[in-house]
Amino acid sequence: MPPNETHSSLQGRSDSPTSQASSAAAHSDITLTRSDAVETFQQIYTDHQPHMLAIARQRLGQQAVAEDITAETFRIAWQHHISGGEVSVPWLYKTLRNLIANQYRRHERDTKYFDSMSGTQDAHESIETAIDDSILVRQAMRSLSADDREILRMAYWEELTRSEMASVLDITTVAVRVRLLRAKKRLRAALEEPE
């Protein structure tokens, strides 16, 4: 072994009181850091959990499922946070959106399975029987592309800012504004179509 390696390896093995004291100080810094991480995350949770739950409830329509998806979002956020990652509103939204998409896929698979077992298909609502404006809006939304629906939901149901939307979609705020204007125009046209 070269002399420098021997010297450095002996320094690393020092059991002197000074070495032990610095080790204890480093350990207390880690504890304080973890405590700070807990406090920071508690604030993130307090500030954003109600909004994330409202988004999940609006998207999924079931309180219990929305609570589960929101809890899973914050479980993932905690792990991301303690590993040194930044937990921002766009990051939370992306995570929530991915979990909701997984829930949709799971529900679709289950529905197809049960439909194949029972031999029945869900009946689609017709526009003629729908007089409520919210039903008309939902039907018009269904006629739009997935991208149009997504940007309209972000802006008007989930009330994300343009910069948050840009971060989630990984585009510029100018592109968000243009896409939102085009999506609103197509929604307006879908609402005005004759029955």
Q: 123-189 — its CATH code?
A: 1.10.10.10
The reply to whether 123-189 shares the fold of 35-122 is no
pLDDT tens readout for residues 133-192 = 666 777 788 889 989 988 998 888 888 889 888 888 889 999 999 999 999 999 988 888
pTM value?
Answer: 0.49
Domain boundaries, given as residue ranges, for the chain: 35-122, 123-189
Structure tokens at 170: 């990984």
CATH topology of domain 35-122: Rna Polymerase Sigma Factor; Chain: A (1.10.1740)
pLDDT tens readout for residues 87-118 = 998 999 999 988 988 887 877 776 665 555 55
CA distance 73 to 35: 21
CA distances, 152 to each of 23, 34, 105, 108, 189 (Å): 54, 39, 21, 23, 14
